[in-house]
Chains A and B, each alone.
Chain A
Amino acid sequence: MIKRTLQLILLLVLILNPGIRGQSVYPSKGMNGMAATAHPLASAAAIDMLKSGGNAVDAAVAAAFTIGVVEPDGSGLGGGGGMVIYLKNEQKSWFINYYGRSSERATELDFSSSRDNSTAKAIGVPGTVAGLLMAHEKFGSLPLKKVMEPAISHAEYGFPIDQTLAKLILDNIDKIMSDPATASVFLDDGFPRMEGEILVQRNLGKVLRLIAEQGRDGFYEGELASSFVEGIRARGGVLSEKDFSSYQPKLTVPLQGTYRGYDILSSNVPQSGISLIQGLNMLENFDLAASGHFSESAKTLHVMAEVGKLTYADRYQYLADPDFVSVPVAGLTSKEYALERFNSINQSKLDPPRYRDAKYGDPGMFDKSYRKEPVLDEEPAGGHTTHLSVIDKEGNTVALTQTLGLFFGSGQTVSGVLFNSAMTNYSYNSGNVNYLQNSKQCRTSITPTILLKNGNPFLVVGSPGASRIITTLIELVVNVIDFGMDVNEANLAPRFYSQKFEDYLHVEAGIKPEVRAELEWMGHTVKVYEGIDLFFGGAQMIYVNPTTGEYSGSADKRRGGMAIGY
């Protein structure tokens, strides 16, 4: 109790002192372990596990359950995600895909993303609990009750609301007010709870306690699952008890690639490691270091923006649930295909003049296993998420990204659990590979990633930010590898975002005015964001010094968060 009180006092000081907010200003170092998450309490939970003798997976699972409590807008028990695990001593890597699926009856719904995104119709089968428990069971070492203790404690006793959460409550007030159960958590006397107020989530605490005692069955079977189904159906959703009981996360290998001598381990399809690898493969054909950093060189930024545009064009064309469609993974990740795509870029001007006119390529030429699928169109608006990175003393490493879909998911709280808005991530055009089908997983932009050098972890990275995730990760990787930035500089550097279905080249104000002017001259329509902006994600990074083995962590200033090392 004393420890918890001290922890909360420290947290209040951290949250209420504007000078300390966002730990990018104070990089964290350590030799024994490091956790970078979007909230100090989640990072502290991870470090507690490491200090208690747990490994990186115990720490990541503890942090993931905790972040769902203390950053309830971005993830939680009602969502899904993906986790890349690297076990250094075994030199083995794993990927757990625990994103949700559509209901076995999803196609019976008359669903519109714009009309129904804040209703029970938007809810897909949640995967977070099954995924985290699978990780713990297969790779963890501490008892589950121990690992879930911090999350339970913060739910039951409360924690001070930080500035990011306070702002998101204000920004999403309509959604929160649309459901009395959600409103009862985030509102006080009908108005938003503010920064510094203590947020208690007793009903969520009960569910967490049940999971700690009964494991997966406590959530996906029995009384609680029945109450979820009853509540969701009463509000117009279609999830069934079978949807819950039959849900299984997938344990596979990560998608692998290379970039300038570094090995990439990232989330497998239909998550978006494939797009990160494709983008970096294209950039290998360009001397970024010689061209100058994209905040100072219009040519560099133009080329990177064009790479982003082409990567997204391919992504929308080919990426979907591999259980339902053939995805040309080998083609999209091949160096030859990347060269062909890169050579199609006009390095002097925007060509074609509209991003939307960018054509997808033909990776099937480089992928004999690919069966051509029918054509596509635009992806629906993406979600808002959270990422955490963890490494332990032995060098075991976890990159984990999880989400509720949109901020606060569907806005629907049933039996203490805030549920996702996964149904907004499907296409409702029958020609699209990501078209909604029953029990199908949607395409998602989450991209938890680990980079290795000679078998040793080098960079652990990921970010929320919907479709911005992919360009943000490309920028972070080149900031470290091509421009030699430390993690903090890399995380704080100005960002941009471009893709096929955009009318603007989005840039932070740190991109120099003369660079922006030159980009306009090259044909881009530049949209400037003052300062740094949550729009461009909230990356959590760990860098391992290849010479000394020292860990450096960085939490993105664009979002509340903290890296803690020891």
Chain B
Amino acid sequence: MKNRILTFVTILILFFAGSTLLAQKFEQPVLISSAGQSADVKLVKMLAQRQSLNATTVLMAKPEDLTGFRTLVIVPGFSSKGLGAAGISQQDEIDRIQSLIKAANDLKIPIVLMHIGGNARRQGQSDAFNQLVADNSKQMLVVKQGDEDGFFSAISRAKNIPLTLVEKIAETAEPLGNLFK
């Protein structure tokens, strides 16, 4: 009986230790970039500042910009105005994000998706960016309105990616900060 209990306790300890080991760690410094060139990325920059994160924002980050960073936060959301201002097409932007994601994976830099625009950044051209970033993320922070149809929840379940849902944009600040504690 004693042996059985010891074995059970040992298994429990190993299980929790394993979970902890498996849980994704996020470290600073943080690179913040856009996927779709919406203005939302500027708000995420503000949120990071509120949490005093060591973060740098590069709207059109390329693989070489990842040097020295330990976490990549990508803010998906299509903006024709933003793409126009950047002088690029939607396909150019998708190509950039794909190469950035690949480089981050190669460098073992975890990706955090932050979707803060709600319905305004869902459907249409935004979802191509949402899908691409969500599929490759290790953590998703989403303002609930953007998940009304379960888009992010479904990806979270299917790919076992932790998803944090909050009511308002301002409320994403705290869970964002907690990722690095």
- The residues of A with any CB-CB pair to B shorter than 8 Å are 18, 163, 166-167, 170-174, 188-192, 194-196, 527, 529-531, 533, 535
Segment with Cβ contacts to A, from B8-16, B25-33, B38-46, B57-65: B38-46
Does B124 count as interface, using CB distance less than 8 angstroms? yes
**Does B168 contact A194, Cβ atoms closer than 8 Å?**
yes
Set of chain B residues within 8 Å of A172, measured between Cβ atoms: 39
Q: Is B154 positioned at the interface, with any CB of A under 8 Å from its CB? A: no
B43 touches A196 (CB 8 A): no
Q: Which of B77, B90, B118, B125 contacts A195 (CB 8 A)?
A: B118
Q: Which of B121-152 contact A (CB under 8 A)?
A: 121, 124-125, 143, 145
Given A173-B42, A189-B170, A196-B79 contact (CB < 8 Å): no
Pick the contact of A194: B77, B81, B145 (CB < 8 A): B145
List chain B residues, Cβ under 8 A from A167. 117, 120-121
Query: Which chain A residue shows the least CB distance to B143?
Result: A194
Q: Is the CB of A191 within 8 A of B42?
A: no
Nearest B residue to A163, CB-CB:
B119
12 extra interchain contacts, Cβ-Cβ under 8 A, other than A171-B82, A530-B124, A531-B124? A18-B119, A167-B120, A170-B38, A171-B38, A172-B39, A173-B39, A188-B170, A189-B168, A194-B143, A194-B145, A194-B169, A195-B120
Question: Mostly helix, strand, loop or mixed at chain B's interface?
Answer: helix
Shortest distance between the CB of A234 and any CB in chain B (Å): 27
B80: interface (CB < 8 Å): yes
Instruction: Sort chain B's interface into a size bin.
Output: 20 to 34
Determine if A191 and B43 form an interchain contact, defined as CB atoms under 8 angstroms apart. Answer: yes
Question: How far, in whole Å, are A529 and B84 apart by their CA atoms in the complex?
Answer: 12
A529 and B39: CB pair below 8 A? no
Of A170, A189, A533, most buried by chain B (CB within 10 Å of CB) is: A170
Interface string of B91-118 (1 = CB under 8 A from A): 0000000000000000000000000011
Q: How far is the CA of A194 from the CA of B118 in the complex (A)?
A: 7
Closest to A194 in B: B118
Q: Report Cα–Cα, A167/B169, bound state, in Å.
A: 14
The answer to whether B119 touches A166 (Cβ under 8 A) is yes
Nearest A residue (CB) for B124: A531
Given contacts A170-B38, A174-B39, contact A531 B125 (CB under 8 A): yes
The answer to whether A174 and B42 touch (CB under 8 A), given A163-B119, A194-B168, A195-B119, is yes
- Chain A residue nearest to B78 (CB atoms) is A530
Residues of B contacting A190 in the complex (Cβ-Cβ under 8 angstroms) = 46, 170
A459 to B124, CA, bound (A): 31
* CA of A535 to CA of B124, assembled, Å: 14
Query: Which residues on the A side are within 8 Å of B40 (C-beta)?
Result: 170
Q: Which of A171, A192, A527, A531 contacts B81 (CB 8 A)?
A: A171
Contacts of B38 in A (CB 8 A): 170-171
> How far does the alpha carbon of A137 sit from the alpha carbon of B177 in the complex, in Å?
58
A531 to B78, CA, bound (A): 13
A530 CA to B125 CA in the complex, in Å? 7
Given contact pairs A170-B40, A174-B42, A188 touches B80 in the complex (Cβ within 8 A): no
20 A-B Cβ contacts within 8 A? A18-B119, A166-B118, A170-B38, A170-B120, A171-B38, A171-B81, A171-B82, A172-B39, A174-B39, A188-B168, A190-B46, A191-B169, A191-B170, A192-B43, A194-B120, A194-B145, A194-B169, A195-B118, A196-B145, A533-B80
Q: What's the least CB distance linking A54 to chain B, in Å?
A: 35
Q: Which 5 A-B pairs have the closest CB atoms?
A: A167-B120, A191-B169, A189-B170, A173-B39, A191-B170
* Contact indicator A529/B80 (Cβ below 8 Å): yes
The answer to whether A171 touches B79, judged by C-beta atoms less than 8 angstroms apart, is yes
Rounded to whole angstroms, the CA-CA distance of A356 and B120 in the bound complex is 35
Closest to B118 in A: A194
CB distance from B142 to the nearest CB of A (A): 13
- Chain B residues lying within 8 Å of A166, measured Cβ to Cβ, are 118-120
Does A171 lie within 8 Å of B39, measured CB to CB?
Answer: yes
Docked CA distance A156–B42 (Å) = 31
Q: How far is the CB of B145 from chain A (nearest CB, A)?
A: 6
Q: Nearest CB to that of A192 among chain B residues?
A: B169
